Chains A and B, each alone.
Chain A
Amino acid sequence: MQPRTEATLGRLMASRLWKSIFRSGRGTSTLHRSMAIQQSVFLHILPAKVRRRMLNFDATWYLGTLTLGTFLVLVITGILLMFYYHPSVPQAYADMKDLRYVVSSGLFLRNLHRWSAHAMVLLAFAHMFRVFYRGAYRPPREFNWVVGVILLLITLLLSYTGYLLPWDQLAFWAITVGSNISSAVPIVGQKIHFLMLGGNQVNANALLRFYVLHCVILPLAAVLFIAVHFWRIRKDGGLYVQQSEPAKGAGEARVSTEDSAQEAVAKP
């Protein structure tokens, strides 16, 4: 079975159709593999080559990757949930019941979205602390750290705006408690509070506002900043690896105990 499957796969990948879609074509050479990255609109933001050391699990714990992974899960489940959701009172709550009792696997979909959202907040925080403790924020990566802080705030806002959408007691009072804090801002506090909720208390207007923020504005902002984040990883010299760590599998790499801030690796 195995060789035959491989042969079929090989024939498929050699076909004209395949080539018309994947420009890199078939092949295991460095060139082909570089082209697989460079010729794809989704992957070309990544460098074609990376240092072997940064693939070690210990280097990053893959926290950034995992945060992106939860974001992707949230986008997919979120779009599916949008098919069933009306941002109006009290239909929003009825939709939760429908998701739970009528929609096929609707309960699972909502569960996955909710738990992934919590996981994303948790992972974003973990990512931040991990980056800090490894010193990866140091120049030349300082701006990317700032982008990361912005992404953390967007993540929190995404989670917070999504919290209201089920329109249950939990949602209503969590948002009420949270939004009341904004009234404490001197002078313009009340204005901010009103602007945020579209009224003086959490109501149908607030639900609509939070819905638009949650489903359109904040995800777009997140995608934008994620793109910048990834682009800057590449432009700032790839994922940061402490010089003090031995390069496993890279036998001849020498070790410098000097300050790594001055390290500069030119990339294509």
Chain B
Amino acid sequence: MSDYVAGMSSDAKNSPKRVVFVTRRTSAHVRSVDEEQVQTYPEALFRAALAVQVLVIALVLLSLLFNAPLEGIANPTVTPNPAKAPWYFLGLQEMLHYFPPIVAGVLIPTLLVVALVVIPYFNINIRPDGVFLKSRRRNLTVFYIVAASLSLFLWFFDVYVALAPTLMVAGFMLIAAFSAPQSPDRFRRYLVSRPVSWWIMTWFLLELAVLTVVGTFFRGPGWSWVLPWRS
């Protein structure tokens, strides 16, 4: 049952062993095996410390070379144009440009947080197989409807900034839908095997990145388009 060897200075493997009770109806089938383990100290701790140190060195160098911004003293009577939120909220501020505050400022962030929280609790997110591999017809129909209505919605409200990543993801999904799992192309094989949760998250990541970059670098006075390299 156990191969424990008592002794204070033993270097022998002393990992606990698994015990399996096999009932009559099932046959024994080993799904996972013990794998090599190492001591947290020093193996993990030193690696972690190394990673952190490299990061800190980078941050220290950054701090030596670039000064944190400091503008004039706060003045409620002088509004800078544009007044921008911190960069990680600029995606939301970009949305605020298209939708009323109740939608862009309250509804979207709330939905986002809720969506993030429930991710591990939905079976669909757990399923690891490619979205168009099982029940292909139904999934294709759902995909067409969702992609078209989302695109139309964004197009209707002139949200081209958010429309572009949507169309991009939809395009890749189309490629995935019409590629064989054994396609000779590696990239296609990769796309085919992506589950639905992967596609949704990728769409979200793209939207977040594009909106944030646009809000940070491409928006000037009156939230109009500017080119960052031309100012």
Chain A residues proximal to chain B, CB less than 8 Å: 27, 29-31, 33-34, 36-37, 43, 46-53, 55, 62, 65-66, 68-70, 72-73, 89-90, 93, 96, 100, 107-108, 110-116, 118-119, 121, 125, 128-129, 132-133, 135, 137-139, 141-142, 145-146, 149, 152-153, 156, 159-160, 163, 166-174, 176-178, 180-186, 201-202, 243, 247, 249-250, 252-254, 256, 258-259, 261-263, 265-266, 268
| A145 to B122 CA separation, bound complex (whole angstroms) | 13
9 A-B pairs (CB sep. < 8 Å): A51-B38, A96-B70, A114-B68, A115-B66, A146-B117, A167-B74, A169-B75, A169-B78, A261-B126
- The distance from the CB of B118 to the nearest CB of chain A, in whole angstroms, is 9
**B residues less than 8 Å from A268 (CB atoms):** 16
Tell me whether B28 is interfacial, beta carbon within 8 Å.
no
**B residues less than 8 Å from A250 (CB atoms):** 35-36
**B residues less than 8 Å from A202 (CB atoms):** 74, 76
| A42 to B76 CA separation, bound complex (whole angstroms) | 46
Interface size on B, residues (CB 8 A): 77
- The majority secondary structure among interface residues of chain A is helix
Tell me whether B145 is interfacial, beta carbon within 8 Å.
no
**A residues less than 8 Å from B37 (CB atoms):** 49-52
In contact, A181 and B92 (Cβ under 8 angstroms): yes
- The distance from the CB of A214 to the nearest CB of chain B, in whole angstroms, is 13
Interface residues of B in 53-100 (CB under 8 A from A): 55-56, 59-60, 62-64, 66-76, 78-80, 83-89, 92-93, 96, 100
Tell me whether B121 is interfacial, beta carbon within 8 Å.
yes
- The distance from the CB of A170 to the nearest CB of chain B, in whole angstroms, is 5
**B residues less than 8 Å from A170 (CB atoms):** 69-71
In contact, A178 and B10 (Cβ under 8 angstroms): no
Which 10 A-B pairs rank lowest in CB-CB distance, beginning with the nearest? A142-B120, A184-B101, A69-B52, A181-B105, A172-B74, A111-B63, A250-B36, A173-B83, A114-B68, A253-B35
- The distance from the CB of A59 to the nearest CB of chain B, in whole angstroms, is 11
Tell me whether B119 is interfacial, beta carbon within 8 Å.
yes
In contact, A108 and B36 (Cβ under 8 angstroms): no
Tell me whether B224 is interfacial, beta carbon within 8 Å.
no
Tell me whether B153 is interfacial, beta carbon within 8 Å.
no
In contact, A254 and B40 (Cβ under 8 angstroms): no
Given A29-B11, A112-B59, A181-B101 in contact, is the A263-B32 Cβ separation under 8 Å? yes
**B residues less than 8 Å from A29 (CB atoms):** 9-11
In contact, A65 and B10 (Cβ under 8 angstroms): no
